[in-house]
Amino acid sequence: MTTHEGSEPAVPSLLDPAVQSDPFDAYAMMQAQEGIYRMPETGFFVVTRYDDLRRVLTDPETFSNNVDRASLQGEENSAVLHDYLDAHGWPHIQTLQRTDAPVHSRYRKLVDRVFTMSRVRELTGHIEEVAHTLIDGFAARGECEFIADFAVLLPGIILAEQMGLDSGDVGTFRRWADAMLAPASTVMTADELKANADIELEAQHHLARLFEERRANPRDDLVSALVHAHRDTEEPLSMAELQSVMSQLIGGGFESTTTSLGHAMLQLVNHPDQMQALREDRSRVKNFVEEVIRFESPTQGLRRRATRDVELAGTLIPKDSVVIVRYGAANRDAAKFECPHQFDMARKNSGTHLAFGAGPHFCVGAPLARAEIATGVLAMLDRLDDIRLAAPLEKPIHEPNFLTLPLRKLPLTFTAKG
């Protein structure tokens, strides 16, 4: 049994922005080694093979979701952040995706009442309206910067409206969402963490006012549904719990969908034959969306914590170690997916990807994300012909991020349909 104490050949650092933008060679090196790779910079154990990942995801008793989301910052700076938020707003308490059974069951039951398939179906028509309104804004120009002009705005407007913001306040919403995700994604100094926390605190105090207003005067929106999700015999979510749940829904529902929309259009541009096939047969969109999510998983990895000494793939992982489940690597595992680095929207097993997780912590917002990606892509194809890159993408093409894979820009040219 290996403990991986300096015995492995050098692997490019996952903290390197260039590697974060194109991590797949690094993943292949990790997968080729025996056992589980351990990051020398952090001591995190990185799980990259499909079967190993499934084992971790489906064994929450051994691999707990109860992990400090700021663990990337180290213990000292993480404590600084928690103390600062506690003094000025609400600390990062563990709820929903960051808890285990039986505590997780309570949160999941409440949130499942909010994110129902019927709610997604009701929203789909509005998502389509928003998509076409956005296209109205740039169709006549014959060009757009797809990330800023569409991919950010479509999920941003939908979530901003659900949070009681005007659809024109997406810029504010994005600042808040980025601040909520930053401690888990980017290494920062204590001063940078506090400055970032000030932005998150803006969101917290807005949400606090909104939660109280919706408690007294509910509307048909996400915030009202969360505030009133409990039954008469159940304990309602506290303010701190509401803040924590909402930050997770914002992070998962905004960043991931924006990232996948960008990758979806990039893959269509890179594969015009598949773009044409999708134009000719819209029923292909479901599998297309799954292949996009498999190929460039929007969330490349998340954290778990070992609750005991455990052996995984011949590697001893000590109790309380941080374990990174690297979805982006597992979804390119050649042992599971034939020619994994080839984008193929007709791939028969695309839907077996692990990008939304597995087991009791499967992503609650997956149906909404799928609906937004499919609706957004089809709206673009319905309205625009001859879609192509306006200029080569500057490298690195992705924003530096330890956990996600957001495109910097995607400049497109096209011809608007008559």
Q: Which CATH number fits domain 17-416: 3.30.420.10, 3.20.20.140, 3.40.1390.30, 1.10.630.10?
A: 1.10.630.10
Q: How confident is the model at residue 181 (pLDDT cuts 50, 70, 90)?
A: confident
Closest to 138 (Cα-Cα) out of 127, 121, 150, 124:
150
Average pLDDT over the chain, rounded to whole? Answer: 91
pLDDT at 172: 82
Contacts of 146 (CB under 8 A, 6+ apart): 261, 262, 265, 410, 411, 412
Tokens 């910052």 -> residue:
73
- d(CA 123, CA 91) in angstroms, rounded, equals 32
Q: Tell me, rounded to whole angstroms, the distance of Cα 413 from its chain centroid.
A: 28
Question: How do residues 281-292 score in pLDDT, each as one tens digit?
Answer: 999 999 999 999
Token pair 């034959």 is found at: 273
Rounded mean pLDDT, 145-171: 85
Mean pLDDT computed over 157-167: 77
Query: Does residue 106 have a pLDDT over 90?
Result: no
SS3 call for 108 = helix
- Indicate the domain borders of the chain: 17-416
pLDDT tens-digit map of 116-135: 788 888 889 999 999 999 99
Alpha helices in 217-238 (DSSP H): 222-227
Most confident region among 155-164, 203-212, 222-231, 328-337 by mean pLDDT: 328-337
* Model confidence band, residue 342 (pLDDT cutoffs 50, 70, 90): very high
Tell me, rounded to whole angstroms, the distance of Cα 174 from its chain centroid. Answer: 14
Give the lowest-confidence range in 137-146, 214-223, 266-275, 337-346.
Answer: 214-223
pLDDT at 177 over 80: yes
* Digit-coded pLDDT (tens) for 182-194: 888 888 999 999 9
> What is the rounded distance in angstroms from the CA atom of residue 312 to the CA atom of residue 179?
34
Residue spans of alpha helices (H) in 73-221: 74-88, 103-112, 117-136, 146, 153-162, 170-185, 190-216
H or E element at residue 315: strand 315-317
Amino acid found at 193: L
Distance between CA atoms of 153 and 140, rounded to whole angstroms?
A: 18
Q: Which two tokens stand for residue 275?
A: 């773009």
Specify the pLDDT at position 190: 93
Residue 3 in this model has a pLDDT that exceeds 50: no
Q: What is the pLDDT of residue 6?
A: 47
Higher pLDDT, 173 or 279: 279
Pairing verdict, β 315-317 and 310-312? antiparallel
Phi, psi for 127 (deg, rounded to 5): -60, -45
Using the predicted structure, report yes or no on whether residue 2 has a pLDDT greater than 60.
Answer: no
- Across the chain, which distance is largest between two alpha carbons, in Å? 66
26-45 per-position pLDDT tens digit: 999 999 999 999 999 999 99
What is the SS3 assignment for 22?
A: coil
Exposure on the CB side of residue 239, measured as CA atoms within 13 A: 14
